Amino acid sequence: MKFSEDKLAKVSEIKARYPEGKQKSALLPLLHLAQEEFGGWLSADTMDYVAELLSITPIEVYEVATFYSMYNLKPVGKYMFEVCQTGPCMVRGCDDIIDYITEKLGIKPGETTTDGLFTLKTVECLGACGYAPMMQLGKFYREHLTKQRVDEIIKECRDKAALNN
């Protein structure tokens, strides 16, 4: 397991943002980078590699990786639907959206489809309350969700996956 030259250059750039001897500050950004690069989740090997890059002990990485909700500690589907379920989204009908995704994909929150394509996850407030209901899909938000929008998103993901295969 090793970052590409490109990514290693990025690692150096990130480490240079902090004062001398404070390279541990690069841990969160590096974990994001590693998760993107190595299959969408952080295995023990990935975390050990990040520890090595920063010359810190593996436990310093594990304790951080387990604290923050965006780091996945087990494999997830290629497309993760992270649907917000906090008050303002609840008021605008997120429960129906979650139920609908469960019905369409046959997975409950926390589960992944058997083809490894989709994971459904419920999350707490993502700061899109005015555009609810919403979900995070990869880097971006999908807002003003309706059942029809969910259908379109599922189709979009399937099409993209088919194109890549």
> Does residue 1 interact with other proteins by CB under 8 A?
no
Q: Pick from 68, 75, 116, 151 the residue near other proteins by CB under 8 A.
A: 68
Task: Please identify, among the stretches 73-81, 98-106, 129-137, 151-159, the one whose residues bind other proteins according to the rule CB under 8 A.
Answer: 129-137
Stretch that binds other proteins, among 57-65, 103-111, 113-121, 154-162 (CB under 8 A): 57-65
Of residues 46, 51, 79, 92, which one binds other proteins by CB under 8 A?
A: 92
CA distance 63 to 65: 6
First to last CA, the chain: 23
Contacts within 8 Å (CB) and 24+ apart, 138-141: 138/79, 138/80
What are 150's two structure tokens?
């969910």
Enumerate the β-bridge partners of residue 101: none
C-beta of 44 vs 90, nearer to other proteins: 90
Q: Does 26 interact with other proteins (rule: CB under 8 A)?
A: yes
Q: What are the strands, taking DSSP E only, across the chain?
A: 79-84, 118-123, 135-137, 140-142
Choose one: 1-9, 100-108, 136-144, 145-153; the region binding other proteins (CB under 8 A).
136-144
| Contact call for residue 160 and other proteins (CB under 8 A) | no
Q: Is 130 in the site for other proteins (CB under 8 A)?
A: yes
As a whole number of angstroms, the distance between CA 61 and CA 55 comes to 11
Q: Does 125 bind other proteins (CB under 8 A)?
A: yes
